[in-house]
Amino acid sequence: MHSARLALVAAGLLLAGGSARAQTYDPSYPVCMQIYGPVGYFDCRYSSLEQCRYLAVGRSASCVVNPYFPPKKPARRSRPADRGPVHVGR
């Protein structure tokens, strides 16, 4: 009886701990609009902060950089192979 009560208390504590939220950012776009209200959410479909700010005018919202957007990798410059010193003929 004691172990059943302990299991019930443990289950109650786990359920009362709150639920984990799923990622709300879409990694396809670099900028998200955070909409405030009773049901706040992120709308990630903007290609620039300027575009997002323009569309956020008059709304209870702000624009943020998407932390899940993968950064662009810098282009690698190809370097010629090192072939040793160059000899100039006389």
27 neighbors 70 (Cβ within 8 angstroms): yes
Whether the model clears a pTM of 0.95, i.e. scores above it, the answer is: no
Between 32 and 25, the more confident residue is 32
Tell me the pLDDT tens digit for each residue of 30-78: 999 999 999 999 999 999 999 999 999 999 999 999 999 998 777 777 6
Three-state secondary structure call for residue 4:
helix
Q: And the tokens for 15?
A: 């359920």
**Under 8 Å between Cβ of 42 and 32:** yes
In angstroms, rounded to a whole number, what is the distance separating the alpha carbons of residues 59 and 31?
17
